[in-house]
Amino acid sequence: MVGRSNVGKSSLINAVLKRKAVARVSQTPGKTQAIHFYLINEKFHIVDLPGYGYAKVAKPVMASWRQLVNAYLQEAEMLRLMFLLLDARRTPSEHDTQMHDWTTSAAIDERIVLTKSDKLSNNELAKNQTSIARDLGVDPTALIPCSVVTKKGIEEVRREIVTRLT
């Protein structure tokens, strides 16, 4: 799980696992300051990476996170799927675009999840989904609108994980 700070990575992990507090959730951006590995059923890991972008931390700390994430992504031999989480209400940042481009160039299977989709009307979500897909050069139907509040998209995220386990 990768995305900017405060996009909902930890909340999504908890929703996917049907647990309230496996991954620590905070209202303050930048609380995930290390790579967190969650071993699931002794079979696979879900990995929560530190967010990029807006976080209330010093620039050297942010730079160390970037180095940590880059090293993990380059060395993770068992990486089967990357979920790039984007806030459905926002246009992709430069960091989002860079992460998507890197994932594509590294030939890593990627699914883009639009978090916080419950905060938009259906029309706004459809419009933003089209716009975000255009910005990233992907098919709008490949994006997974998701909400941990309404549970929309959670089952689709689970299915994506399960298909990589066989």
| CATH code for position 73 | 3.40.50.300
Bigger pLDDT: 94 or 72?
94
Report the distance separating Cα 115 and Cα 92, nearest Å.
Answer: 12
Mean residue pLDDT of the chain comes to 86
pLDDT 10s digits, 109-163:
999 999 999 999 999 999 999 999 999 999 999 999 999 999 999 999 999 999 9
What's the pLDDT score for residue 95?
86
What is the pLDDT, as a whole number, of residue 60?
66
Element (H, E) at 163: helix 154-163
State the pLDDT at residue 77.
77
Number of independent structural domains in the chain? 1
Q: CA angle, 131 as apex, 84 and 149 as ends, to 5°? A: 55
Percent of the chain with pLDDT over 70: 84
Backbone angles phi, psi at 40, to 5 degrees: -110, 120
pLDDT (tens digit, 9 = 90+) per residue, 136-148? 999 999 999 999 9
Q: Are 132 and 120 in contact (CB under 8 A)?
A: no
**Domain span including residue 86:** 2-163
Q: How high is the pLDDT of residue 162?
A: 92
Query: What is the pTM assigned to this prediction?
Result: 0.86
Instruction: Give the model's pLDDT for residue 57.
Output: 56
CA torsion through residues 3, 8, 13, 17, sign: negative
pLDDT digits 0-9 by tens, 47-70: 888 777 655 556 666 566 667 777
